[in-house]
Structure 1
Amino acid sequence: MNWSIAFEPLLSWPVLALLIAPMAVLALASLFMRQRGALLRAAAFAALALALINPVLLDEEREPLQSVVAVVADRSQSQDIGERTDTTDRAIEELKARLGRFRQFDVRVVEAGRASETDDRTETRLFAALESVFRDVPPSRIAGAIMVTDGQVHDLPATAEGMPGPLHALITGDEDERDRRIRFVNAPRFGIVDKPLEMTYRVTGSGEDGEPVDVRISVNGQQVAVDRAIFGEDMPLQITVPGAGRNIVELAIERAEDEITDTNNRAIAIVDGIRENLRVLLVSGEPHAGERTWRNLLKSDAAVDLVHFTILRPPEKQDGTPINDLSLIAFPTRELFVEKINDFDLIIFDRYQHRDVLPILYYDYIAEYVEQGGALLVAAGPEYAGNQSISRTPLMSALPALPTGNVIEEAYYPRLTETGARHPVTRGLEGSGQEPPNWSRWFRLIGIDRPAGHVVMKGPREEPLLLLNRNGEGRVGMFLSDHGWLWARGFEGGGPHVALYRRIAHWLMKEPELEEERLTAHGRGMTLEVRRQTMSDEAGPARVITPSGATLDVPLVAATPGIFTGTATVDEIGLYQIANGDLATLAHVGPVNAPEFAETVSTEEVLAPLAEETGGSVRRLAGFAGRLALPGIVPVRSSGDASGRDWIGLRTTSDSILKSVNRVPLFAGFFGLALLLLAFSAMWYREGR
């Protein structure tokens, strides 16, 4: 029972003041002048005032509230080291059992620190979880928090402000743990292909400063060198970026005998390879309607350095013009096709025909250039079917098809072949998904015989229109129509000439994204995504090797023609090896050089200042012979100590819920009336004597 007195006046307080004030003055005056019956008069006036104020005796029935205890279990990846997970599980179960014996505590257990499937963060964020537990709890009801963790917490608040209860940390792991780690100090995000890239790294270890250690250096899964590093010192590293696109640089050191984990014995840097400006030689025949289409496209590409020559005056042209009046320059054939031919990434012959501008021997040089890894594109016109066709030169050994001599002159829609629907150069070309295609017609096609390579576009009568072929180490493309400029000029709505021409050029120059057979993978959060690009009808499953050496198969399903994808949810951070058919690649899941593994040795030092500030404590769970050294739990008042040598305290609250109220008016009914009558009768009796 909780008894209290409340006042429920019969009149408003201002009115009561007007009534009681004169009575109080009269009573005080009588007492001051020592009149007869002054005390009885004062008592009668007091009884009347109390009757008007109406005091009420209240009996409140209350139910005490529980104090909220937060038990936070650290489930971060560093807790998987050694026996930490088992220790955490045992400690949590024992804490729940002990706290369950106290009726005054509301125990809330929360697990934190494990990254989600889509979350790239791998930090141990225990205080964010603690905040979510106490979000709906008033400060007066917070008993405190108990964290079971290895002590490596990454969202530690600067001060204990806002934490009304004590913080207790129970540390997993052993006190004498050792670990060594390698990390990049300076790792540029981009590098130029085939050029050296300067990087810096450091190896650290417990008590090993100044000692040497061997570091294996791998690029895209291939070991390229072994470096000798000194513990605790920044070490220079120079690598050569092998190719365009993503490159994974990995540093690794051997695991020591007493080391708790080798997860952080590897460091990863992802370097995007960027090619220096690609050099393209464009040689056009006599001026024609579509001559500037290729030029405009290549000039607009910031990654391309273009050298363009147009044969305006062939050698056999003799019109008597004085030499001094000619503004044309001599075609530097020897410089371009002998001395500097290997400096070009692509050579384009745009409606070019053999008219003795190039010596016949130079075509041999071009064929050899392709055989050794160069790229050649023939944009054919009627000249390719004539007597002066470049197919009648030594270049024929590099060409994917020879002309039949026929030139088809009729309207037709360029269409993708079945192969072209899967080939990355033409796959998904805008407008190709309907019949007829949503682009304009062309009106000319050069006939060829026995094409080699992939026929990715076709013209009328199923005749080949676009050929893509590999020749030795190089590549050759052949466009068998000169009417692509109709798309560029917007004829009948135009067509996707920019995308098509650019893809052709970059495929010839070996752009990785346009390879017919390509396997790529990357991590998104804790999900591994695999993508297979192939010309086959099926891709089969991808075999994945996890950082710990386990294997799993990821089924690949068709997403679009020529593209197969698959995903797998994983729980390890690190470098994954993926293989499908003859192809293999690497992918890193989780953040590169994750903070979770920056420090893996269990520690009391991180949480100690904050726990001390809140009145809590930090202690290890490791006891004798593998037993848990779990402290006792003691309920304490808000002003008492919250920790001792072998116990931890949790504060209890005085908050309660009001269930019901019983009212007993003190001056109500006959009792109040009798008291008033008695007081006034005594006053009149005394004053009447």
Structure 2
Amino acid sequence: MSWSITFEPLLEWTWLGAVLGPLALLALAGLVMRQRGATFRAAAMAALALALLNPVLLDEEREPLKSVVAVVADRSQSQEIGDRSATTDAAVEELKARLARFPQFDVRVVEAGRASDTEDRTETRLFGALDSVLRDVPQSRVAGAILVTDGQVHDVPERLEGSNAPLHALITGSEDERDRRIRFENAPRFGIVDRPLSMTYRVADTAGGQDAVSVRVSVNGEQVSVETAIVGEEMSLDIIVPGAGRNIVELSIDRLEGEITDTNNRAIALVDGIRENLRVLLVSGEPHAGERTWRNLLKSDAAVDLVHFTILRPPEKQDGTPINDLSLIAFPTRELFVEKINDFDLIIFDRYQHRDVLPILYYDYIAEYVENGGALLVAAGPEYAGAQSISRTPLMAALPGLPTGQVLEQGFFPRLTETGERHPVTRELEGSGQEPPNWSRWFRLIGIAQPEGQVVMDGPNEQPLLILNRKGEGRVGMFLSDHGWLWARGFEGGGPHVSLYRRIAHWLMKEPELEEERLTASGRGMTLDIRRQSMSDDPGVASVITPSGERLDIPLQLESPGIFTASTTVDDIGLYQVANGDLATLAHVGPVNAPEFAETISTTEVLRPLAEATGGSVRRLEGFASGLSMPGIVPVRATGATSGRDWIGLRTTEDSILRSVNRVPLFGGFLGLGLLLLALGSMWWREGR
């Protein structure tokens, strides 16, 4: 309750001045000249002025507002080291108990670092949480903030704008902590497959020194070498990029005795492998309408170096033309099929037949090339069913099917088989999702008997059209029709010849994304995504080992034919091991080498400048086992000191809420009228004497 006087004039101030001004001058002149009755006239004029000004006594009932205290608990991953988490829990509970003794404080507790947002998990962002909890509070009502943290905070501002509240920090952990860590200094994002990639790294130790440390180097989960590093020095490292796509390079060191954590004893780099141009040898036999289809497709692929030969003049052709007059290039058979055959990633025979251009022994070299890991594609035409078929050469050992001699000449729609609906080469091929397929017909099919491998497309009467087979270490594909060019020419609307031909070629050249059995995993925020390609009906569950060593079994769900997926939200940032059947892979969740683990030693120095600038303090919470060394809490006024040797101060506010107001006019009613008449009567009486 508070009392105050205010004026509610009966006239506007302009009229009051016009009325009271001259009267005040007359009363003042009388007093100065000491005229008789001047005092009574002045009193009468004053009574009139008060009556016109109408003074009112206000009785206000106010409710004082509480000062807001923010308590921010650091729940980031570095707080899980040692007994920091237990110390934080105990400190927060003790703070809540002590602050509850002061009714003038409104205590708000917020936790930072447990959000699903990746950024909140990889960095200690306490001031973002502090801003959110005080967003609806005027600065005049903020009593102060108390942070319970290990001191490694990554969003410390230079100053707290517009705030007069103290910032106090209570630090978990001890002063004598030691940590050794490893990190990449230079890690390129891209590298050429099967080529060396130069990187640099550094091993750091809070204890200093220049000890020699053994560093284990692993690529995609397999250890490739053990390097020796000098603590504190930048070290060089060369690795061989093993494959296209994402590769995980991991460096790890042993944990020291007494080291607070080994979380940062590993460093991860993600390297995307890029293949050098793939070398393809295309040999075209008898000229036909679709001869340039394969050439145009391969030449349009920037990742392919194409060597193309067309057999225009077989040896048996004799027309008397002198050799010197022929504008033809001799087929370098020995150079291509003996000396440099292993330089090619793929050999394509497009309607090729044996016509003594290649010595019969060279077919055996090609079969051996496939057996040792090479790739062969046969685009067959009617010649494959004839007497000069390459199936009658030593190459037959590598072929997935031998001809029956039948050549079917009729219109038909190429269709995916049940296997083809799952196989990555033909899966979800554009136009295959309806019956009949949304592409044009073909009109020729070469018959074969007892196909080996996987029949992914067929023709009339379910006869094989496209066969994919693994032979030894290599792969073989066979197209049993030469009418694919109809799709390229747009006949009856055409068809997806580009995607089909390109997938066939890249599957033969062992593109990882086109493997029938493949397991991949990746991180998306704090979510682990698992993708399994399989030809089976049920690949089972995926077994996941987290960075902390916990094992999870995650069921895989059918997404589409041949594709099974799963997603799960995880808590830890780091490297996850995923296995399913005979396949295993690695995935890194969260940012690589997150700042949260770059510095894990608890410290008072990061927050000290800001705390002292606000009048606050930074002090350690002593060992949890022997009890917490908690400072006392003292409410202080706006201008008082806010920290001492063993106490911390929180400011109290003078803000309040007005509940009610009672008005008492001081010169109104009969009382005011009586006083006014008394003053005027006294003046008249004095003047009349």
- TM-score by structure 1 length? 0.98
Q: Secondary structure at the match of 1:140?
A: helix
* Cα contact 1:99–1:105 (8 A) shared by 2: yes
Q: Secondary structure at the match of 1:335?
A: helix
* Cα contact 2:87–2:624 (8 A) shared by 1: no
Q: 2:547: which partner in 1?
A: 547
Q: Which amino acid aligns with 1:441?
A: R
Deviation at 1:286, TM superposition (A): 2.5
Q: 1:557: which partner in 2?
A: 557
User: d(CA) in 2 for partners of 1:225 and 1:304?
Assistant: 33
Deviation at 1:47, TM superposition (A): 1.6
Over the matched positions of the two proteins, sequence identity in percent amounts to 80
User: d(CA) in 1 for partners of 2:14 and 2:409?
Assistant: 110
Deviation at 1:478, TM superposition (A): 0.4
* Cα contact 1:120–1:526 (8 A) shared by 2: no
Q: Deviations over 1:569-618 (max 9, x none)?
A: 22222211111111111111221111100011111111111100011111
* Cα contact 2:445–2:459 (8 A) shared by 1: yes
Q: Secondary structure at the match of 1:61?
A: strand
Q: 1:470: which partner in 2?
A: 470
Cα distance change of structure 1 residues 105 and 144 upon mapping to structure 2, 3 Å threshold: same
Q: 2:490: which partner in 1?
A: 490
Q: Deviations over 1:198-217 (max 9, x none)?
A: 01000001223211111111
Q: 1:427: which partner in 2?
A: 427
User: d(CA) in 2 for partners of 1:134 and 1:446?
Assistant: 78
Deviation at 1:115, TM superposition (A): 4.6
Q: Secondary structure at the match of 2:364?
A: helix
Q: 1:281: which partner in 2?
A: 281
* Cα contact 2:418–2:456 (8 A) shared by 1: yes
Q: 2:606: which partner in 1?
A: 606
Q: Secondary structure at the match of 2:131?
A: helix
The 10-residue stretch of structure 1 (63-72 or 332-341) with the greater mean CA deviation from structure 2:
332-341
Q: 1:574: which partner in 2?
A: 574
* Cα contact 1:209–1:230 (8 A) shared by 2: no
The 10-residue stretch of structure 1 (615-624 or 303-312) with the greater mean CA deviation from structure 2:
615-624
* Cα contact 2:520–2:531 (8 A) shared by 1: yes
Cα distance change of structure 1 residues 402 and 118 upon mapping to structure 2, 3 Å threshold: farther
User: d(CA) in 2 for partners of 1:623 and 1:274?
Assistant: 52
For structure 2, the 5+ residue unaligned runs are: none
Q: How does 1:146-545 map to 2 (within 5 A)?
A: 146-545=146-545
Deviation at 1:31, TM superposition (A): 2.3
Structure 1 residue ranges, 4+ long, deviating more than 6 angstroms after superposition: none
* Cα contact 1:349–1:378 (8 A) shared by 2: yes
Q: How does 1:658-677 map to 2 (within 5 A)?
A: 658-677=658-677
User: d(CA) in 1 for partners of 2:514 and 2:163?
Assistant: 57
The 10-residue stretch of structure 1 (324-333 or 475-484) with the greater mean CA deviation from structure 2:
324-333
Q: 1:653: which partner in 2?
A: 653
Q: Which amino acid aligns with 1:636?
A: V
Deviation at 1:296, TM superposition (A): 1.3
User: d(CA) in 2 for partners of 1:117 and 1:472?
Assistant: 48
User: d(CA) in 2 for partners of 1:547 and 1:624?
Assistant: 27
Q: Secondary structure at the match of 2:68?
A: strand
Q: Secondary structure at the match of 2:46?
A: helix
* Cα contact 1:244–1:275 (8 A) shared by 2: yes
Q: How does 1:85-164 map to 2 (within 5 A)?
A: 85-116=85-116, 122-164=122-164
Q: Deviations over 1:248-274 (max 9, x none)?
A: 111111101100100000011111111
Deviation at 1:142, TM superposition (A): 0.3
The 10-residue stretch of structure 1 (418-427 or 347-356) with the greater mean CA deviation from structure 2:
347-356
The 10-residue stretch of structure 1 (443-452 or 5-14) with the greater mean CA deviation from structure 2:
5-14
The 10-residue stretch of structure 1 (46-55 or 473-482) with the greater mean CA deviation from structure 2:
46-55
* Cα contact 2:145–2:166 (8 A) shared by 1: yes
User: d(CA) in 2 for partners of 1:286 and 1:626?
Assistant: 91
* Cα contact 1:121–1:591 (8 A) shared by 2: no
User: d(CA) in 1 for partners of 2:118 and 2:139?
Assistant: 34
Deviation at 1:389, TM superposition (A): 1.2
Q: Secondary structure at the match of 2:122?
A: coil
Q: 2:637: which partner in 1?
A: 637
Deviation at 1:336, TM superposition (A): 1.2
Q: Secondary structure at the match of 1:151?
A: coil
Deviation at 1:501, TM superposition (A): 0.7
Deviation at 1:164, TM superposition (A): 2.7
Q: 2:597: which partner in 1?
A: 597
User: d(CA) in 2 for partners of 1:603 and 1:118?
Assistant: 24
Q: Secondary structure at the match of 2:48?
A: helix
Q: Secondary structure at the match of 1:626?
A: coil
The 10-residue stretch of structure 1 (320-329 or 132-141) with the greater mean CA deviation from structure 2:
320-329
User: d(CA) in 2 for partners of 1:444 and 1:20?
Assistant: 119
The 10-residue stretch of structure 1 (156-165 or 474-483) with the greater mean CA deviation from structure 2:
156-165
User: d(CA) in 1 for partners of 2:407 and 2:688?
Assistant: 146
Q: Deviations over 1:298-349 (max 9, x none)?
A: 1111111111111222222233334444222111111111111111101111
Deviation at 1:621, TM superposition (A): 0.8
Cα distance change of structure 1 residues 447 and 292 upon mapping to structure 2, 3 Å threshold: same
User: d(CA) in 2 for partners of 1:599 and 1:523?
Assistant: 23
* Cα contact 1:183–1:202 (8 A) shared by 2: yes
Q: 1:584: which partner in 2?
A: 584
Q: 2:60: which partner in 1?
A: 60
Q: Which amino acid aligns with 2:237?
A: L
Deviation at 1:529, TM superposition (A): 1.5
* Cα contact 2:183–2:266 (8 A) shared by 1: yes
Q: Deviations over 1:440-487 (max 9, x none)?
A: 111111111100010001111101111000011100000111111111
Q: Secondary structure at the match of 1:638?
A: coil
Cα distance change of structure 1 residues 29 and 66 upon mapping to structure 2, 3 Å threshold: same
Q: 1:74: which partner in 2?
A: 74
User: d(CA) in 2 for partners of 1:523 and 1:343?
Assistant: 37
User: d(CA) in 1 for partners of 2:138 and 2:509?
Assistant: 67
Q: Which amino acid aligns with 1:672?
A: G
User: d(CA) in 2 for partners of 1:49 and 1:504?
Assistant: 106
* Cα contact 1:118–1:527 (8 A) shared by 2: no
User: d(CA) in 2 for partners of 1:626 and 1:224?
Assistant: 47
The 10-residue stretch of structure 1 (253-262 or 361-370) with the greater mean CA deviation from structure 2:
361-370
Deviation at 1:406, TM superposition (A): 0.9
Deviation at 1:439, TM superposition (A): 1.2
The 10-residue stretch of structure 1 (418-427 or 678-687) with the greater mean CA deviation from structure 2:
678-687
Aligned length: 689
User: d(CA) in 1 for partners of 2:189 and 2:623?
Assistant: 47
Cα distance change of structure 1 residues 334 and 571 upon mapping to structure 2, 3 Å threshold: same
User: d(CA) in 2 for partners of 1:256 and 1:670?
Assistant: 94
* Cα contact 2:173–2:623 (8 A) shared by 1: no
How much is the aligned-residue C-alpha RMSD, in angstroms? 1.3
Q: Which amino acid aligns with 1:274?
A: I
* Cα contact 1:182–1:266 (8 A) shared by 2: yes
